[in-house]
Amino acid sequence: MAKGMYYYLRQAWKKPPVNELRKRIIDWRKSNAIVRVEKPLRLDRARALGYKAKQGFVIARVRLLRGGRKRSRPRAGRQSGKQTIRKTLVMNYKAVAEQRTARKFRNLEVLNSYWIGQDGEYYFFEVILVDPCHPQIKNDPGIKWICSQRGRAFRGLTSAGKKSRGLHKKGNRREFFGK
């Protein structure tokens, strides 16, 4: 049976060429933390998550610092309970990337995101954004549902947000916690 183009794109991303990815990451490190890009790097993944090559869709590349989330210790005028410098964050890196992108592009709505690379210092994600006020988005029956939603990334309604809220588990809550 013949395979389609997206199958081979998916297979290529399972073992990407190390030299090409290294060159890209070196360039990405030098750029800003959030950059708007012309087209998605992983077309198969973007299309699977709802991206269409039409007006109203925007792709942004996000750079996140890896490692523990250690905060600086407050010096004076704080309660002792607030002096903790290491806190475990419930959100995953992808959800953090979506929220930072949503803060930068306030007029756009986050649809979804996917991983595009990492090195020893940074994670890199591409975030799919949609303009809910664009006429082509309002007239498309497949995506116009996003016009009635605001702040999806902040309310945990994206895929990464739902995962950090524990909604990707099979079964209901009672079965999951064994009660």
Each residue of 89-106: pLDDT tens digit?
778 899 999 999 999 999
Which pair of tokens denotes residue 49? 């998550």
* Contact between 63 and 29 (Cβ < 8 Å): yes
Superfamily of domain 15-69+83-166: Ribosomal protein L15 (3.40.1120.10)
Say what the pTM is.
Answer: 0.85
Residue with tokens 């996003």: 146
Q: Give the list of residues 6+ apart from residue 56 with CB closer than 8 angstroms, or none.
A: 130, 131, 134, 136, 137
How many CA within 13 A on the CB side of residue 82?
A: 6
Each residue of 55-70: pLDDT tens digit?
999 999 999 998 877 6
Written as one string, the DSSP assignment of 11-76 is HHHHS--HHHHHHHHHHHHHS-SEEEESS-SSHHHHHHTT--SSTTEEEEEEEEE-S--BPPPP-S
Please check the confidence at residue 172 and state whether its pLDDT lies above 60. no
What is the DSSP secondary structure assignment for residue 86, as one 8-state letter?
B
> Starting at the edge strand that comes first in sequence, how are the strands of the sheet with 57-65 ordered?
34-37, 57-65, 122-130, 109-118
Each residue of 102-155: pLDDT tens digit?
999 999 999 999 999 999 999 999 999 999 999 999 999 999 999 999 999 999
The residue ranges of every structural domain in the chain are 15-69+83-166
